[in-house]
């Protein structure tokens, strides 16, 4: 087994073709929709023995996107971005929430679920957050109460009886935000897709292969580790422990 972090800009192994530029597409269309169409029964995500295929991932991402747009009063439907925070552990539901926010065209801040309540409140207000998606929002509401933020508890899902909300055509190019000290760095869809495909080339991942993600979703490495296998139709294994536990 080989353990690698996100590839440094100065290093590229001999014999591995360099990746040039991302396609003119979205993360959703490249990493989810095309594999849901081509290889729907292939496994996309695995966590603690539970797995979902690309067909199921596609449906759940579109339902999560629709639910977020509903909660934000339709924003995202007309091209106006909404501001969302996702505080999720490294599980399937957390991955679906992040991918759903990208599909909805949201500016999404990824935060560590262990962030203290007082700090979380300051972060949400500073980011201008309209919607918080987390495992258990009800249990934390009193501690960081702010009237401007709505909450959705995982799993995120819209009504199955409204097919219009689940339309692929509603897919937009959202951005993901990462905390950098007191600032938030928003990475556009093209950067996320480009880095994912570059990392895939570096790791020499192919369709149907397995890739284990150890870093949390609140980090750049965790997100790229999630997206890189999906971009080529491989499988992301979401591991909550340390690398030492596997080695």
The two tokens of residue 129 are: 């957050």
Residue pLDDT, tens place only, 189-216: 888 988 898 888 888 888 889 999 989 9
The two tokens of residue 166 are: 């689940």
Residue pLDDT, tens place only, 224-245: 999 999 999 999 999 865 544 4
Residue pLDDT, tens place only, 43-74: 999 999 999 999 999 999 999 998 888 887 76
Beta-carbon contacts of 166 under 8 Å, excluding residues fewer than 6 positions away, are 59, 62, 63, 66, 158
Full-prediction pTM beyond 0.85? no
H-run or E-run covering 98: helix 92-103
Instruction: Please report the pLDDT score of residue 138 as a whole number.
Output: 53
């Amino acid at each position: 087994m080989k353990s690698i972090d996100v590839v440094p800009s100065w290093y590229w192994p001999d014999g591995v073709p360099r990746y040039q530029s991302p396609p003119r597409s979205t993360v959703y269309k490249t990493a989810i929709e095309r594999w849901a169409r081509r290889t729907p029964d292939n496994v996309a995500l695995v966590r603690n023995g539970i797995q979902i295929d690309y067909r199921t991932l596609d449906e759940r991402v579109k339902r999560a996107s629709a639910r977020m747009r509903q909660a934000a009063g339709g924003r995202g439907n007309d091209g106006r971005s909404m501001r969302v925070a996702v505080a999720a552990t490294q599980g399937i539901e957390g991955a679906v929430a992040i991918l759903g926010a990208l599909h909805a065209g949201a500016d999404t801040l990824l935060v560590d679920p262990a962030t203290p309540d007082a700090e979380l409140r300051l972060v949400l207000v500073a980011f201008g957050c309209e919607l918080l998606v987390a495992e258990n929002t009800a249990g934390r509401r009193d501690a960081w109460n702010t009237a401007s933020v709505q909450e959705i508890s995982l799993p995120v899902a819209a009504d199955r009886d409204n097919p219009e909300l689940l339309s692929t055509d509603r897919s937009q190019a959202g951005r993901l935000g990462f905390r950098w000290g007191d600032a938030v760095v928003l990475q556009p869809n093209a950067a996320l897709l480009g880095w994912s495909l570059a990392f895939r080339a570096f790791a020499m991942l192919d369709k149907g292969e397995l890739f284990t993600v150890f870093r949390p979703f609140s980090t750049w490495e965790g997100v790229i580790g999630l997206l890189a296998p999906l971009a080529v139709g491989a499988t992301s294994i979401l591991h909550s422990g340390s690398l030492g536990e596997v080695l």
